[in-house]
Amino acid sequence: MKVANSLKALKKRDAACKVVRRKGRVYVINKVNPRYKARQG
């Protein structure tokens, strides 16, 4: 999982990427290709 300052660029890497908020953190998740996972902060 990557840790990034901004998830906006990471979201555009794949069509199946979704941005979700969990426990005050922002995540990019991808069910189709999990190598695109990322977290902000």
Give the model confidence (pLDDT) of 1-41 as tens digits: 899 999 989 999 999 999 999 999 999 999 999 999 999 97
6 DSSP 8-state letter: -
- Separation of alpha carbons 41 and 31, rounded Å: 22
pTM for the full predicted model: 0.80
- Separation of alpha carbons 32 and 17, rounded Å: 9
- Closest to 17 in 3D by CA, of 37, 2, 1, 3: 37
Query: What pLDDT is attached to residue 38?
Result: 95
In 3-state terms the chain splits into helix, strand, coil percentages (rounded to 5) of 15, 40, 45
How is the chain split into domains, by residue range? 2-40
